[in-house]
Amino acid sequence: MRSIQSNYKERLLSHQSSGPNLILSFIFQAMNGVANYRSIQWRLKLGLLRGDNQEKSTYTKESFLFTVANQNQTIIHQQRQRYEGLAQKHYRQSCALSIINDSEHPARSGPTKEKKVAKTVEHPARFGSPKEKKVAKTVVDDPLSIMASFEEEKLKIDQKKALQRKKEIAMASRPNLKHHPMNTDKGAEEIHDVNSTKWDEFYSSREIMDIIDKDLERLPIDHHIHFHQRKTNIGIQNIIAESDEAMKSRKERNKQLAEILFVYAKEHEIGYRQGMHEILSFIFMAYEIDMTNYAKSKRIANAEMELIQNCLLNSNKIIHDCYALFDAIMSELSIAFEYSGNLTSRGKVRERLGTATLTILREWQGDYELADFISELDVPPELYVTRWVRLMFSREVAGFENVFKLWDHFLGYVSQSVSLLDVLETAAASMIIMVQDKILPQYGLNNSDLDDDQEPMHILMNYPRLVDINPLITIVDRLMTNQATGFKPPKVQRSPQYVGSADYMLPNQAQIPIQGQDTVYFSQGPVDYSHQYQHNDLPMMSNPQQQYYQNVQHHQDPLLSTLKNIQTAPALKKLSLGLNEGVNVLKGVAKDALHTIDSQLLNKNQVSKCNIYRGSESKMKNQVKSSHINDVPLGSMNNDSFLGYRNVSSAPSVIDEDPTSFTQARESIIDSQSSEGSFVGVTSTATNQATIATFPNTIDETSTISQRMGNDIAVLRQFLQSINVNNPQVWSSLSNLEALQQDMRSKYKIVRK
Amino acid sequence: MEQSNACKVVLLGNSGAGKSSIAQRFVYNKFNVYNESTIGASFFSKKIVIKIKNAIESEEATERSVKFHVWDTAGQEKYHSLAPMYYRGAKAAILVYDICNKPSFDALGSWFDRLKEFGPNNLQHIIVGNKCDLNDERQVPRQEAEVYALNMNCLYLETSARDNINVEEIFQEIARKLPENAMEPSNNEADADLLRLDKSSRSIHDRICCYS
């Protein structure tokens, strides 16, 4: 939230006319930042936590957290107990532990020891030499080290095996790792049979552990950052350098992940499959981020906070809670990891992922041509769709924030009748729709003329990572709405002159008004957006605005294409949330501006502080100037000096993360003014007027901010009117925004005088 | 004289043996220390040019460019019902193991079994012992692997994707061996099927016939 505010402020200062797409983009940024505490939301959504009011769960407030924590104490306790039992059974007392006491490997033991061996397995404590006992004791709580200590013995066995294999190679043209009848010692084989299940289990556990470890080691490093930050509170920079400390914390995290994966693999028939580790790691990361955010929310410790931290975001129970969440997600997703042909979920037989995706393309997109084309490719859709679905598209989008946004969206659809897999298959169909222009054979162009990386197969197998996930979400929304309402769009007809365009961005249904649970969002029924953006229908506009709507007309702005599709209930809800956040952004900017002046006035005599401030201020101004000249996007600004500036200038301010209502926000501004010496009052004295004179630029800046913000809001209102939004929440948010801005302006007018 | 054709190659072997690293070294000439695990399979393509001494008209060397379609499979996908998809129409299989990981070498036998069951008949096999830069941690003696390869009647190479040792050579070897392999008359019905399915491999077939 903080960074969005500062970005927005910077934009306002550096651009002559910020234009509506800027404010919209900031609103959307803010909106996407709304999904705080997503680990809790996911658990609510998947039924792991009970929430009385589902509506509230879409917008987690901290007060809501308390209600959830309070309601779910027993449920959480049971979940944690359950995991504790499983971990005890599979992980802490895994078969490796009992087998380690069996000093006699079947291959070495004679038939006479058979009984003894069997007994040893059952009663590890009673048998074995003192040395073995010691081994068992030291490693009792860590199967990994059991395995490590067992490595030595395994090597010996391996050597034996190798010898045997050499014999086999000599005897048969084709080596076989199974027992060769001519080579096997009969006695040993008998023993092997007795103990083989135990040993098989041990080796299979070891194999699972090996592969889990290998996969976890290869997790991209940004998966570990939040864990490390939580542990040490040091910056990202240090992690990339992979200090010893970071390495240690990475290992620690991997150990926790490995435990969950191992227990899951042991508990479920499917076992461990590559890819699960990434799903789990994201879940873990969501939980970690939530913990960090909650800890940062600057609350005085009290009973409420304790309960929330105990029940919902407990660093000691992260393994337990993440297992429950992982288990719940995998109960749907594990089908995608299945090797065999027949897939069943919720009692019904499912189509294979690839087939299901094509069905969605045909039925709910109406694009038979595309589906047929895909199914006739050399590469069956199964190959790439499986990968997308298994990882829940996490490798298909850039940056973990995008992954989380996408998952929020996917899980948002999950309900009694819609399974996660349905949503993911729909998303897979959407992915194909997004590249249809690139893969459908273009007219006049022979497929064989194409470069390698333009071949459909290549595009689908090496799908470029999406930087902007909004187009994908738009299509998913549309297809999901079609499925929910049973609306089958007419067959897509491509004209012979079909050339790629952004047509797929446009909604092609919109024939029926979409109904929310109890609200019809569009009173005027079907909305034909193509007419909305005709020049003539729009009110007179200044040039940048006109340019903007021309962009709209030509579908050049991904943000706008999102907005154009806000006829779906969830999208509309998001917009109203976004506006609420927009209020917070503006509020934050305004508050910062006030604090800037306030703190200057208060620290007037503390020369050193002023100097620090001036130094960093001039630094920042230079950057702003250079961004003027070179037209460099502000995102590329040097963050460090900018943050430095912020830290000095807004040190006394209190971040109000809680998205309180507008009136509260206004009050809090007024409060903060009076508490730090009345802003208006101070400026009226002669000495302070002199002080202000030394900071004219700051005041100019703030007045610029308020002025341009006013423009933005006006344009936003026009835009919302033009798309016929009929949601009272959206409008009240907007008028709140306007009121706040006017408030700001009047204050600055006083200051100017 | 220049000829061009596409050649499908599959990389097989246990998880973590370095299949993706070999593919990336070959295609992009880069190496990541932490490579994400492959899920399902990934696909790359790259064209290389090789010179072949023409045995029949021994006058000049033929310049042949081969377009490789490299299918990099996930180590765990061995038993996936889709796995035969990866092998279908392949001209060569690169069986990769990690010289510092004995089980990955032991698993080669079962990979051969899978290939025998589902792979095309005239498949070229190459055994690759990867990570030879980590000689100190070696668990599989070179000699053992060589004996094994000899028995399996296939080429053995030790590579390092990290230090770029022998990676290009794998593909050079495959390309060099291509004509002999492809020229073998395929009476097998399944093979005919494969050729029909895979346009690119059909073109190899046609051209090889002209070439001989």
Question: Which of A247-256, A259-268, B148-157 shows the lowest mean pLDDT across its residues?
Answer: A247-256
- With a cut of 60, say whether residue A100 has pLDDT above it: no
Q: What is the pTM of this model?
A: 0.62
The residues, ordered by sequence, that sit 6+ positions from A35 with a Cβ below 8 Å of its Cβ are: A41, A60, A404, A405, A408
- Name the more confident of A239 and B37: B37
* pLDDT computed for residue B47 by the predictor: 85
- With a cut of 50, say whether residue A189 has pLDDT above it: no
| DSSP three-state, residue A113 | helix
User: In sequence order, what DSSP letters do the residues of A7-76 get, joined into one string?
Assistant: HHHHHHHH-S--HHHHHHHHHHHHHHT---SHHHHHHHHTTSS--S-HHHHTS--HHHHHHHHHHTHHHH
Mean pLDDT of all residues in chain A? 64
Tell me the range of A80-89, A95-104, A724-733 where mean pLDDT is highest. A80-89
B53 membership: H or E segment, kind and range:
strand B41-53
- Partner-chain contact B109 A277, CB within 8 Å: no
* pLDDT computed for residue A24 by the predictor: 62
d(CA A96, CA A128): 15
Question: Which of A21-25, A246-250, A643-647 shows the lowest mean pLDDT across its residues?
Answer: A643-647
Given CATH 3.40.50.300, say whether it is the number of domain B5-198.
yes
Q: Which chain A residues contact residue B103 at CB under 8 A?
A: 210
- Partner-chain contact A340 B112, CB within 8 Å: no
- With a cut of 90, say whether residue A496 has pLDDT above it: no
Q: Other CB atoms closer than 10 Å to residue A399's CB: what's the count?
A: 13
- With a cut of 90, say whether residue B66 has pLDDT above it: no
d(CA A344, CA A335): 7
A591 to chain B nearest CA, in Å?
44
Residue-wise pLDDT tens digits, A509-526: 332 333 333 322 222 223
Residue of B nearest to A341 (CA): B81
Residue of A nearest to B113 (CA): A176
Q: What is the mean pLDDT of residues B129-157?
A: 93
Tell me the range of A22-26, A146-150, A457-461 where mean pLDDT is highest. A457-461
Tell me the range of A39-48, A175-184, A542-551, B196-205 where mean pLDDT is highest. A39-48
Tokens of A21: 């797409």
CB A592 within 8 A of CB A1: no
In 3D space, the residue among A540, A556, A404, A561 whose CA is nearest the CA of residue A471 turns out to be A561
Residue-wise pLDDT tens digits, A545-584: 444 444 444 444 444 555 555 445 555 555 666 666 666 6
Question: Which of A18-27, A257-266, B69-78 shows the lowest mean pLDDT across its residues?
Answer: A18-27
Question: Which of A36-40, A236-240, A251-255 shows the lowest mean pLDDT across its residues?
Answer: A236-240
- With a cut of 70, say whether residue A380 has pLDDT above it: yes
Residue of A nearest to B201 (CA): A378
* pLDDT computed for residue B150 by the predictor: 94
* pLDDT computed for residue A318 by the predictor: 92
d(CA A388, CA A371): 17
CA A506 to chain centre: 26
DSSP state of B187: -
* pLDDT computed for residue A293 by the predictor: 78
Q: Please check whether residue A70 touches B, CB under 8 A.
A: no
Q: What is the mean pLDDT of residues A726-748?
A: 72
Residue-wise pLDDT tens digits, A212-231: 998 998 887 777 776 766 65
* pLDDT computed for residue A661 by the predictor: 35
- With a cut of 60, say whether residue A322 has pLDDT above it: yes
- With a cut of 70, say whether residue B203 has pLDDT above it: no
Q: Please check whether residue B84 touches A, CB under 8 A.
A: no
- Name the more confident of A649 and A178: A178
Residue-wise pLDDT tens digits, A27-65: 655 554 444 688 888 898 888 888 765 444 444 456 677
Question: Which of A40-54, A229-243, B46-60, B84-98 shows the lowest mean pLDDT across its residues?
Answer: A229-243
Residue-wise pLDDT tens digits, A403-450: 998 998 898 888 888 889 999 999 999 999 998 888 887 643 444 555
- Partner-chain contact B199 A378, CB within 8 Å: yes
- With a cut of 80, say whether residue A536 has pLDDT above it: no
Degrees to nearest 5, angle at CA A145 with A144 and A148: 95
Q: Please check whether residue B39 touches A, CB under 8 A.
A: yes
- With a cut of 70, say whether residue B204 has pLDDT above it: no
Q: What is the mean pLDDT of residues A84-103?
A: 65
Among the partner residues A274, A453, A461, nearest to B39 by beta-carbon distance:
A274
- With a cut of 50, say whether residue A364 has pLDDT above it: yes
B196 half-sphere exposure, CB direction, 13 A CA radius = 6
| DSSP three-state, residue B13 | strand
For the beta sheet containing B61-73, the strands, ordered from the edge strand earlier in sequence to the opposite edge, are B41-53, B61-73, B2-13, B92-98, B124-130, B155-158
User: What is the percent of chain B where pLDDT is above 90?
Assistant: 42
Residues facing residue B3 across a β-bridge: B64
d(CA A65, CA A67): 5
DSSP state of A312: T
Largest CA distance in chain B: 49
d(CA A190, CA A185): 9
User: In sequence order, what DSSP letters do the residues of B59-90 get, joined into one string?
Assistant: TSEEEEEEEEEEEEE-GGGGG-TTHHHHHTT-
Tell me the range of A10-19, A583-592, B25-34 where mean pLDDT is highest. B25-34
Q: Which chain B residues contact residue A339 at CB under 8 A?
A: 79-81
B4 membership: H or E segment, kind and range:
strand B2-13
Q: Please check whether residue A271 touches B, CB under 8 A.
A: no
In 3D space, the residue among B36, B33, B37, B38 whose CA is nearest the CA of residue B134 turns out to be B33
Q: Where are the alpha helices (H) located in A486-538, listed in sequence order? A: 529-532
- Partner-chain contact A219 B36, CB within 8 Å: yes
B87 to chain A nearest CA, in Å?
12
Among the partner residues B37, B40, B144, nearest to A386 by beta-carbon distance:
B40
- Partner-chain contact B37 A215, CB within 8 Å: yes
Q: How far is CA A17 from CA A11, A245, A636, A673, in A?
A: 9, 47, 20, 30
Residue-wise pLDDT tens digits, B49-62: 887 666 555 566 66
pLDDT bracket for residue A635 (50, 70, 90): very low
